[in-house]
Structure formats: C-alpha cells, structure tokens
C-alpha cells in the first residue's frame, strides 16, 4: 500500500484485504496503523544499521575512509525496497513515524560522531555539525528517493560523504 499510494492511506482494512486476512489478525500484532508504520520504519532502520556496520567493517580506519561506506549503506538499503524508502521519505505524514525518524536522527548522529568520524561527543561544534549532516542527509536522501533531486547515486553519496568528512577537517 505504501509503495503505491503513500503512507497516509495506510490502514488496517487495506492491509488485511491485501493479505487476505481478517482485521483480527492485524490487531493481534498492531494496535493501529501508526504502530504498523513505526514497525516498518524500525525494520528499515535496523537494516540500515546492519548495512552500515558491514560497510564500516570493510572500510579503512580513518574518518575519510569511513564516511562514504556509511552513506552508501543508507542509500543501498533504501533502494532495495522502494516501498520502505517511500515510508522513510514520507515520515512526516504520521506523527508517530515522524517522531521515530527524528529519534533515529539523534541515534545516527551519535553513530556518526563515535564510530564513523571518531570525534568526541563533548565537542559542541562537532555535535552540531554531525546533526546537520545526518538531518540534512535524511532530508536530501528522502527528496532524492521521491525523484525531487536529479543527481546520480554515486554523486549523491560522494557529496554527502564530502560534507561529513568536512566535520573533522581542520578549520582555518
């Protein structure tokens, strides 16, 4: 449903009709459509974290070598399933999904600082910069998935990685 019609039309009746189940089965697993949508987003975020971990395991030790595999992992996971990518892109349509995506931005900001860039979290400037990169990446990748930004996948990854690496670059 989400892939064809978007997040706002997601409902128990439609899900059950497509699955050939009664609503009872839906409500045994989910309290409402928001719970289902958050569950789908959680699954996507888990997959992104797993992909990032795999990318980082194969990356070099420096922040410059770790940034591109991190961005590539996010983009790769979103491209695997356009339906879930649409949920990610339309997260603002449902408060519960939007709140979870916002929390994920904080979690990925910590990941960016601690694991990718290896910058102390107590550095306020780095925290702000990392949050800008993660939140900006979320917005730009969402727009790219929706077809609003005309740039190749490789150029998208390169540009986001360049901005991320700038966090650890010495300032004049």
Residue 71 placed within a domain: yes
Host domain of residue 73? 33-166
pLDDT for the residue 53: 94
Residue 21 in any domain: the answer is no
Q: How confident is the model at residue 150 (pLDDT cuts 50, 70, 90)?
A: very high
Q: 146 in a domain, yes or no?
A: yes
Mean pLDDT, rounded, for 51-57: 94
Q: Is residue 14 part of a domain?
A: no
Q: How confident is the model at residue 151 (pLDDT cuts 50, 70, 90)?
A: very high
pLDDT cut 90: percent of the chain above it: 40
Summarize the confidence of residues 13-20 as an average pLDDT.
Answer: 88
Residue 27 within a domain: no
Residue 11 included in any domain: no
- Cα-Cα-Cα-Cα torsion 166, 167, 169, 172, nearest 10 degrees, comes to 100
pLDDT confidence of residue 1: 72
Structure token digits, residue 160: 């986001």
Number of separate domains in the chain: 1
Q: To the nearest 5 percent, what fractions of the chain are helix, strand and coil? A: 80, 0, 20
The C-alpha atoms of residue 78 and residue 93 are separated, in whole angstroms, by 18
Tens digit of each residue's pLDDT (9 = 90 or more) over 55-101: 999 999 998 899 999 999 988 998 888 788 788 878 888 899 999 99
The conformation of residue 171, written as its DSSP 8-state character, comes to P
Return mean pLDDT, the chain. 88
Q: Residue 18 domain-assigned? A: no
Spatial distance between the Cα atoms of 72 and 61, rounded to a whole number of angstroms: 17
CA 106 to chain centroid: 11
Q: What is the CATH number of the domain that holds 92?
A: 1.10.357.10
- Evaluate whether residue 22 is within a structural domain: no
Q: How confident is the model at residue 172 (pLDDT cuts 50, 70, 90)?
A: low
What is the structure's pLDDT at 15?
Answer: 87
């Amino acid at each position: 449903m989400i892939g064809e019609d978007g997040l706002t039309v997601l409902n128990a009746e439609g899900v059950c009709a497509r699955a050939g189940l009664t609503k009872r089965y839906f409500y045994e697993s989910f309290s409402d459509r928001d719970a289902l949508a958050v569950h789908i987003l959680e699954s996507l975020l888990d997959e992104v974290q797993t992909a990032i971990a795999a990318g980082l395991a194969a990356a070099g030790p420096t922040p410059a070598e770790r940034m591109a595999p991190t961005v590539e992992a996010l983009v790769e996971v979103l491209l695997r399933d356009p339906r879930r990518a649409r949920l990610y892109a339309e997260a603002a349509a449902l408060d519960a999904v939007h709140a979870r995506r916002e929390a994920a931005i904080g979690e990925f900001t910590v990941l960016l600082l601690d694991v990718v860039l290896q910058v102390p979290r107590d550095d306020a400037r780095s925290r702000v910069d990392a949050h800008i990169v993660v939140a900006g990446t979320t917005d730009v990748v969402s727009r790219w998935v929706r077809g609003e930004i005309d740039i190749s996948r490789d150029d998208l990854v390169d540009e986001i990685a360049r901005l991320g690496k700038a966090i650890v670059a010495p300032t004049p």
